[in-house]
Amino acid sequence: MALSKKMQDALNDQLQREFHSAYLYLSMSAYCSAENLPGFAKWMRLQAQEEVGHAMRIFDYLDDRAGRVVLQAVERPPSQFKSPLEVVEGVRKHEEGVTASIHKLYAIAQAEADYATQTFLHWFITEQVEEEKSTTQLAERLCMAGDNKGALLLLDREVGTRSSAE
């Protein structure tokens, strides 16, 4: 069964959103590095890589379903941030938006009775639970550190132990 035009367009929009996430997190990584927080910089860089992985999942799926990948412009992310907390809060809020867009995509797949796309999206729905959990925890721990530079440096070291883009 061929992908509907509506489903294909919605998947291409999500592909763009994943690249936009990657771009945003890469910009945040650069900011953290400039702020001498190599742990956060590494975490954000791996997060950016992970987003490219999400985009490529959609790219491959469109291809598998004989759909057409249509790459869109990726908007320019901010390059300056107020604080590490603003960065992490930004990731958390951004991921909430991604969850909402994945859910919208799922609703379209349901309306179109596109069962293959529903199954494909299950992975993303589960992934968003993990993303929201990890980013909420990071934001809350950064909040706890407050103005304590020692706590920030300790957290930076811990966050820097992340080793995979998953």
Instruction: Give kind and range of the element (H or E) at residue 5.
Output: helix 5-34
94 binds Fe ion (CB under 5 A): no
Q: How far apart are CA 128 and CA 133, in angstroms?
A: 8
* Tokens standing for residue 3: 């992908």
Among 54, 65, 92, 94, binds Fe ion (CB under 5 A): 54
Instruction: Give kind and range of the element (H or E) at residue 84.
Output: helix 84-111
Site residues for Fe ion, 13-32, by CB under 5 A, read: 18
* Tokens standing for residue 38: 């190599």
Q: Which stretch binds Fe ion (CB under 5 A): 35-43, 51-59, 60-68, 109-117?
A: 51-59
Minimum gap (Å) between residue 58 Cβ and Fe ion: 10
Q: Which is nearer to Fe ion, 87 or 152 (CB)?
A: 87
Count Cβ atoms within 10 A of the Cβ of residue 133 and give its class: 0-12 exposed, 13-18 middle, 19 or more buried: exposed
Q: Which is nearer to Fe ion, 4 or 141 (CB)?
A: 141
Site residues for Fe ion, 131-160, by CB under 5 A, read: 131
Site residues for Fe ion, 115-134, by CB under 5 A, read: 131
The residue ranges that bind Fe ion (CB under 5 A) are: 18, 51, 54, 131
